[in-house]
Amino acid sequence: REMDANDSRLMQAAGLVTGETRMETRGKARARIKAAEAKILLDVSMLSMTLFPPEIVDSSIRLVRMDDNAIATIAPSLFRLPITLFSAHHNNLSVLPSAIGRLTALVSLNLSFNFLSELPSSISRLLSLRTLLLASNHLEEAPLAIAALPILRALDLSTNPIKRLPPQFSALVDLEYLFFTAAALSSL
């Protein structure tokens, strides 16, 4: 039997090579599509929210965007999810719960343009974190917990009144991008 149009599209979408049986190819294509669909995005950006409704938390959520709202606290239920991307820039966050340390699969965290004056030490448990964006907060000191992030590649602390970086930051050997634009640095 020849491949129908759906089988052909599945193979093309999955980028599979020829030479495999059609059943093997279809199975791989479906597995790849299912894996992509598993990356569920919860986007509640720009909804003028002041609270994050905990009832919308679902265990299939992997990516969370709650940007450009007026959220002051993050629902604890959110920290029980296997989130890989969390973005809450342009909100009213002044405190980050220590439960943030439970997000061990987190790869990217954007908390820029909030009112954070410190980060909890539990940030050091985010061992998969590669990008940490904290621009335009109220951080007067660079949080020491950041120095414990072994694969951090991008760190934005710009537009914070940070005067110096702690010597522990020399442990960030994978760091490729460090932003301090308009910061109050007096020494590195």
pLDDT in tens, 129-185: 999 999 999 999 999 999 999 999 999 999 999 988 889 999 999 999 999 865 555
Question: 79, 83, 82: which is closest to 65 by C-alpha?
Answer: 83
Question: 120, 126, 114: which is closest to 97 by C-alpha?
Answer: 120
Residue with tokens 């049986």: 21
Confidence of residue 20 (pLDDT cuts 50, 70, 90): low
Mean per-residue pLDDT, 53-69:
86
Q: Is the pLDDT of residue 6 over 50?
A: no
Q: Is the pLDDT of residue 121 over 70?
A: yes
Residues forming beta bridges with residue 164, ordered by sequence position: 187
What is the rounded distance in angstroms from the CA atom of residue 13 to the CA atom of residue 33? 8
Mean per-residue pLDDT, 53-59:
78
Per-residue model confidence as pLDDT tens digits over 64-118: 999 999 999 998 888 999 999 999 999 999 999 999 999 999 999 999 999 999 9
Q: What is the mean pLDDT of the chain?
A: 83
> H/E/C letters for each residue in 23-92?
HHHHHHHHHHHHHHHCCEEEECCCCCCCCCCHHHCCCCEEEEECCCCCCCCCCHHHHHCCCCEEECCCCC
Rounded to 10 degrees, the C-alpha dihedral 30/34/37/38 comes to -170
Question: 153, 152, 160: which is closest to 134 by C-alpha?
Answer: 160
Considering only residues 78 and 22, tell me which one the structure prediction assigns the higher pLDDT. Answer: 78
Beta carbons of 64 and 83 less than 8 angstroms apart = yes
Beta carbons of 100 and 120 less than 8 angstroms apart = yes
| Predicted local distance difference test score (pLDDT) of residue 55 | 75
| Predicted local distance difference test score (pLDDT) of residue 184 | 59
The order of strands in the sheet holding 131-133 is 40-43, 61-65, 85-87, 108-110, 131-133, 154-156, 177-179
